[in-house]
Structure 1
């Protein structure tokens, strides 16, 4: 029995460092919406994918931590107007996925490195748009001030970890995309609709840490 409240940042850290579900290098097929789209994933796996990283920023907020999300601007070339975690392509100068995710978070929303503690990774998310995404789990200390880069981010908001880790909020949906039916999760929260890649990563987080 853990000594930490279930949805605290301390318990999140403990669970992130002791994940269930097998090694992250091999487990991506078994989680999130990959399970819902086996044929699509086989197609994506055969493509030449570009490596990317996103930061999953879990803010230390007492017994119920908060998770930072962004709303991407409508003018971006890919995933425009969608809810996302801070992140992007891993550049040649990035020494690790962790440093890439933290760099992108600073560039996109002004989240300074001194407040961010990377604690673990989730299995890769293979995106049909051509990216192999490494989700970097991090605990974030309060005291930061966000400054949004208007060319990339239109808004930023926080969602309680307890809400995201409740499977009753993980609704399933589908759409016709590129000639086939694609199944995905969506998670409505207040005025926001978390769906697609981001919801798939949240679902994987639930399956690996809280299911």
Structure 2
């Protein structure tokens, strides 16, 4: 069968048959944790709060697009950064998927009726205090987005083919608690996808497209 590798249908197929170890325990094997192996023992000692992000892949032909947000500069954490819609899991959320869908609706007005959740990636353990579960989803056309101005400065899309090309996965570094830390960065036009978000994109590549 001649599949279009970056279509939403193929993304769905790969999400359901992704490579690598079990989702619950494979976070050490992926993304920027491989760039910073010395940080893994520290992360394993932290008590992290559950959070969820939606990785929304829009079904718009042979080259699907992924929705990102640019967070407002006034937010307390990760202000001004590019992110996936998401946030902390609330007690009333029935599941990780419910939390991701709720956050996407609150942040960008994405109606859950257009969203099909299809799987999860391994957790992203964040030094900011969260155990983040990326929820993979296919979004059907016809939706309208209304960003919440208190949280989101703007919303934009990036082709899945760009994100899944390892040639676009640059690296950067910074100093944190006396040590050099390394991270992925993926500039796209005037947007700078880096840090946690780029780490999740890299994990997506390693699990589905490597």
Range into which the TM-score falls when normalised by the shorter chain: over 0.9
Structure 2 match to 1:177: 176
CA distance in 2, matches of 1:97, 1:127: 17
Please report how far the alpha carbon of residue 3 of structure 1 lies from its aligned counterpart in structure 2 after TM superposition: 4.2
Structure 2 match to 1:31: 30
**If the length of structure 2 is used for normalisation, what is the TM-score?**
0.98
Give matches, 1:1-211, under 5 Å. Answer: 2-211=1-210
Task: Provide, for residues 8-34 of structure 1, a one-character-per-residue CA deviation record: whole Å limited to 9, x for no partner.
Answer: 000000000001102111211000001
Task: Provide, for residues 73-110 of structure 1, a one-character-per-residue CA deviation record: whole Å limited to 9, x for no partner.
Answer: 11111111100000000000011110000000000000
Name the SS of the counterpart of 2:131 in structure 1. Answer: strand
Task: Provide, for residues 132-160 of structure 1, a one-character-per-residue CA deviation record: whole Å limited to 9, x for no partner.
Answer: 00000000011011001011000000000
Between the two proteins, the alignment pairs up a number of residues equal to 210
Unaligned runs of 5+ in 1: none
Name the SS of the counterpart of 2:21 in structure 1. Answer: coil
How well do the aligned residues superpose, as a CA RMSD in angstroms?
Answer: 0.8
Please report how far the alpha carbon of residue 178 of structure 1 lies from its aligned counterpart in structure 2 after TM superposition: 2.6
Unaligned runs of 5+ in 2: none
Stretches of 4+ aligned residues off by more than 2 angstroms = none
**More divergent stretch after superposition (173-182 vs 82-91):** 173-182
CA distance in 1, matches of 2:193, 2:134: 16
Q: Does the Cα contact within 8 Å between 1:44 and 1:130 map onto a contact in 2?
A: no
